[in-house]
């Protein structure tokens, strides 16, 4: 397999990656980087946890002229958390590589005035949600004519409904010779068709089939619905996760669960309950810093988040589709580490474990709690 420098990535960026023990490109990075570096329009698809962010961020950084104090790359994402995460990754890489490239997040729910002040610093890269970026372009606060590349991440969420109209508007405002890169964890016909309508000569870049990382162990434990919170509490004590993500569907239930766990001295942050960007940022910062060992999130809130050291994923509310299970468990076992996924199921939900096994070709073993210890049935 080619090295990053052999793929065309700047040696300074390759050295910056090495400080985080990233030395070998993943399959999607090996395929996508040369295509994006060449300036081609591309549709990049690969499963969660395969390194898609660096697959587009590295060549985008390599194409930025740091001496030119003008906007050159626009990254459109569906959530505030993902925008902040990509900005953090990009800033750290650029700083370590000594590139002098400025990043600016542009998200809704924050003071527009403050963001306009930051834009006066002339960032070369902006990362933001479609509504805010579109608003600032229409208000002539962003000059789109200098943009070289537009990257649309999580296209299965952005090329739908209101977001689709905003993405179209953003792209339409750019010069015709700009590069378009669409990024997704899936290959859905409807989103692929929309992308092709926006860029007729798309290069399709795909790596990996829908399969689960073999370093993840899968279990389910059966209980009554009313006992799920107590079972989760006992599992957290028995398994002692380094960091754990608990998936729930409903905000009200998440708030109740967070309260119960905090009452039992288990530090928890709840993305469901975060009312604004400041609260969401604090929740993520606390989780990354290890001040809270447990993060409660929905599928939407967790999309795209790349958090190192997540040892366990707990499915409190059970995904009915195998692809959603795949996305969830992909939050653990990153960068070669071991991972564990535990689904807390009612008797009626156990059938879904069999579905995961069949669809994803994995073994989901039966677990049980006894005397404060987690046992696995043979």
Output the domain CATH number for residue 342. 3.40.50.300
167 with 40, same domain: the answer is: yes
Q: Is the pLDDT of residue 275 over 80?
A: no
Residue-wise pLDDT for 103-133, tens only, equals: 999 988 778 888 898 899 999 999 999 999 9
64 lies in some domain: yes
Q: Of the candidates 207, 236, 269, which is a domain's last residue?
A: 207
Last residue of a domain, one of 188, 207, 226: 207
Are 143 and 63 in a shared domain?
yes
Residue-level pLDDT at 307: 76
Of the residues 165, 190, 207, the one at which a domain ends: 207
Residue 97 shares a structural domain with residue 235: no
Taken in order 296, 271, 75, 174, the sign of the CA dihedral is positive
Instruction: Please report the beta strands in the chain, taking only residues with DSSP state E, as ranges in sequence order.
Output: 42-46, 73-76, 103-106, 125-128, 149-153, 179-184, 203-207, 216-222, 244-247, 268-270, 294-297, 312-315, 339-345, 364-370, 373-376
Q: Which of 133, 115, 124 is nearest to 170 (CA)?
A: 133
Task: Identify each DSSP E strand in 67-210 by its residue range.
Answer: 73-76, 103-106, 125-128, 149-153, 179-184, 203-207
pLDDT of residue 336: 61
237 and 105 in a common domain: no
Cα 58 to Cα 11, 116, 254, 307, 340, distances in angstroms: 11, 27, 36, 19, 30
- 3 belongs to a structural domain: no
CB 85 within 8 A of CB 154: no
Based on the domain organization, do 116 and 259 belong to the same domain? no
Given pLDDT bands bounded at 50, 70 and 90, which one contains residue 150? very high
In a domain, 2, yes or no: no
Mean pLDDT of 195-205: 90
Beta bridge partner(s), residue 314: 246, 342
Flag whether 1 is in a domain.
no
Task: Give the pLDDT of residue 87.
Answer: 94
| Cβ 158 vs Cβ 198: under 8 Å | no
Does residue 61 surpass a pLDDT of 80?
yes
Question: In this structure, are 87 and 108 located in the same domain?
Answer: yes
Pair 88, 193 in one domain: yes
Can you name the residues that pair with 71 across neighbouring β-strands? none
Instruction: Indicate whether 246 and 349 sit together in one domain.
Output: yes
Is residue 85 located within the same domain as residue 28? yes
- Residue 130's contacts (CB-CB under 8 Å, 6 or more residues apart) are 76, 78, 158, 163, 166, 167, 170
Q: Is residue 6 included in any domain, yes or no?
A: no
Mean pLDDT of the chain: 89
Q: How far is CA 192 from the centre of its chain?
A: 20
Q: Please count the structural domains in the chain.
A: 2
Q: Is residue 332 part of a domain?
A: yes
Domain of 184, in residue numbers: 11-207
Give residue-wise pLDDT tens across range 344-364. 999 999 999 999 998 888 999
Are residues 264 and 197 both part of a single domain? Answer: no
Q: What is the pLDDT of residues 178-195, one digit of tens each?
A: 999 999 987 788 888 999
pLDDT at position 167, please?
A: 96
268 & 347 share domain = yes
- Assess whether 69 and 149 both reside in one domain: yes
Provide the pLDDT confidence category of residue 377 given band limits of 50, 70 and 90. Answer: confident
Strands laid side by side in the 216-222 sheet = 268-270, 294-297, 244-247, 312-315, 339-345, 216-222, 364-370, 373-376
């Amino acid at each position: 397999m080619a090295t990053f420098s052999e793929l065309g990535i700047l040696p300074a960026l390759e050295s910056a990656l090495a400080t985080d023990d990233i030395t070998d490109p993943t399959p999607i990075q090996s395929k996508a980087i040369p295509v994006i570096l060449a300036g081609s329009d591309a549709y990049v698809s690969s499963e969660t946890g395969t390194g898609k962010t660096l697959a587009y961020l590295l060549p985008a950084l390599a194409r930025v002229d740091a001496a030119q104090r003008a906007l050159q790359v626009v990254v459109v994402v569906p959530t505030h958390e993902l925008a902040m995460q990509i900005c953090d990754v990009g800033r750290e890489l650029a700083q370590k590589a000594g590139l002098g490239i400025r990043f600016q997040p542009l998200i809704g729910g924050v003071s527009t005035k403050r963001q306009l002040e930051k834009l006066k610093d002339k960032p070369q890269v902006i990362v933001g949600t479609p509504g805010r970026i579109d608003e600032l372009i229409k208000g002539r606060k962003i000059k789109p004519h200098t943009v070289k590349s537009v990257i649309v991440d999580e296209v299965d969420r952005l090329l739908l409904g209101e977001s689709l109209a905003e993405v179209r508007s953003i792209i339409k405002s750019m010069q015709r010779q700009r590069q378009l890169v669409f990024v997704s964890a899936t290959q859905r016909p409807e989103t692929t068709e929309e992308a092709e309508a926006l860029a007729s000569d798309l290069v399709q870049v795909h790596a990996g089939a829908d399969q689960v990382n073999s370093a993840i162990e899968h279990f389910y434990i059966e209980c009554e619905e009313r006992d799920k919170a107590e079972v989760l509490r006992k599992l957290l004590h028995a398994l002692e996760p380094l960091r754990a993500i608990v998936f729930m569907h409903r905000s009200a239930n998440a708030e109740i669960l967070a309260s119960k766990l905090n009452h039992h001295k288990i530090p928890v942050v709840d993305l469901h309950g975060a009312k604004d960007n400041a609260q969401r940022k604090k929740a993520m910062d606390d989780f990354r810093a290890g001040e809270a060992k447990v993060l409660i999130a929905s599928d939407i809130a967790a999309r795209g988040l790349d958090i190192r050291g997540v040892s366990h994923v707990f499915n409190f509310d059970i995904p009915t589709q195998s692809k959603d299970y795949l996305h969830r468990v992909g939050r653990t076992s990153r960068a070669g580490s071991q991972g564990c996924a535990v689904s807390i199921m009612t008797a009626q939900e156990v059938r879904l474990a069999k579905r995961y096994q069949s669809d994803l070709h994995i073994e989901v073993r039966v677990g049980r709690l006894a005397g404060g210890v987690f046992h696995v049935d043979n």
